[in-house]
């Protein structure tokens, strides 16, 4: 989801590899030595960057929820409230970018959210609620016939659809990023259209 073009920091490299390894083998199936080896440092060297695996997991899951919300708010600000259709399309595109580029984080969230400390889990949920509400408002601008609860249900359903990307590669691979993004976008808009019926 990042738009920067400079090289990732060591900390970002560690988080990326930790997300990949945790998604592949589970949080408890990966040791700090393996994460360190994946980025070319010793396992104990990771402690210069993180207090431990729990801190990595928290930063990954709180971090992605925060980035999604920040990105959604930025898209809202950029729209200036002028074109609700364009805003909704922009929100969908932003979430598709996340769903295609950060698939290990989706798997990690599904499997490991309950491993977070209560305070971190509550923060993730708070950020997610704010992100959902941003979408609900955008959807209701485009589809004024949708009252609040059905709009919220439709947003959650669309998130489920878009966040299914970790499973897409298991049945023969994705048809290419651009084609997959287009398909997901059409399906998301179709779901919102169907929710009006």
Burial class (CB in 10 A: 0-12, 13-18, 19+), 160: exposed
pLDDT interval class at 3 (50, 70, 90): very low
Q: How far apart are CA 28 and CA 137, in angstroms?
A: 39
Percentage of the chain exceeding pLDDT 90: 81
Examine residue 90 and state whether it is found in any structural domain, yes or no: yes
Examine residue 166 and state whether it is found in any structural domain, yes or no: yes
The closest of 193, 124, 135, 181 to 159, measured between CA atoms, is 135
When divided into structural domains, the chain yields a total of 1
pLDDT interval class at 1 (50, 70, 90): very low
What average pLDDT does the segment 131-154 reach?
96
pLDDT of residue 5: 54
pLDDT of residue 173: 59
Token pair 């992605």 is found at: 64
Token pair 């440092």 is found at: 41
Examine residue 31 and state whether it is found in any structural domain, yes or no: no
Examine residue 41 and state whether it is found in any structural domain, yes or no: no
Most distant CA atoms of the chain, gap in Å = 57
Examine residue 189 and state whether it is found in any structural domain, yes or no: yes
Examine residue 105 and state whether it is found in any structural domain, yes or no: yes
Question: CA 68, 74, 76 angle in degrees (round to 5)?
Answer: 105
Examine residue 141 and state whether it is found in any structural domain, yes or no: yes
Residues 156-186: tens digit of each pLDDT: 999 999 999 888 765 555 678 899 999 999 9
Domain that holds residue 190: 52-196
Centre a 10 Å sphere on the Cβ of residue 25 and count the other Cβ atoms it contains. 11
What average pLDDT does the segment 104-125 reach?
96
Query: For residues 189 and 104, is the Cβ–Cβ distance under 8 A?
Result: no
Q: What is the CATH number of the domain that holds 89?
A: 1.10.357.10
Centre a 10 Å sphere on the Cβ of residue 21 and count the other Cβ atoms it contains. 20
Examine residue 167 and state whether it is found in any structural domain, yes or no: yes
Token pair 């996340």 is found at: 98
Q: Check residue 52 and report its DSSP letter.
A: S
């Amino acid at each position: 989801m990042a738009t920067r073009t400079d090289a990732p920091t060591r900390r970002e490299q560690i988080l990326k590899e930790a997300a990949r390894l945790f998604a592949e083998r589970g949080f408890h199936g990966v040791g700090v030595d393996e994460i360190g080896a994946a980025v070319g440092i010793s396992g104990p060297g990771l402690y210069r960057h993180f207090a431990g695996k729990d801190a990595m997991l928290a930063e990954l899951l709180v971090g992605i929820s925060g980035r999604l919300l920040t990105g959604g708010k930025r898209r809202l600000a950029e729209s200036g409230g002028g074109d609700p259709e364009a805003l909704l399309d922009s929100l969908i595109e932003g979430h598709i970018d996340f769903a295609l580029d950060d698939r290990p984080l989706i798997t990690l969230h599904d499997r490991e959210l309950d491993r977070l400390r209560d305070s971190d889990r509550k923060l993730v949920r708070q950020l997610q609620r704010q992100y959902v509400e941003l979408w609900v408002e955008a959807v209701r601008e485009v589809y004024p016939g949708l009252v609040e609860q059905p709009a919220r249900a439709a947003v959650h359903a669309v998130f489920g659809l878009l966040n299914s990307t970790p499973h897409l590669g298991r049945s023969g691979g994705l048809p290419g990023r651009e084609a997959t993004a287009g398909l997901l976008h059409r399906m998301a808009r179709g779901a919102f259209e169907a929710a009006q019926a």
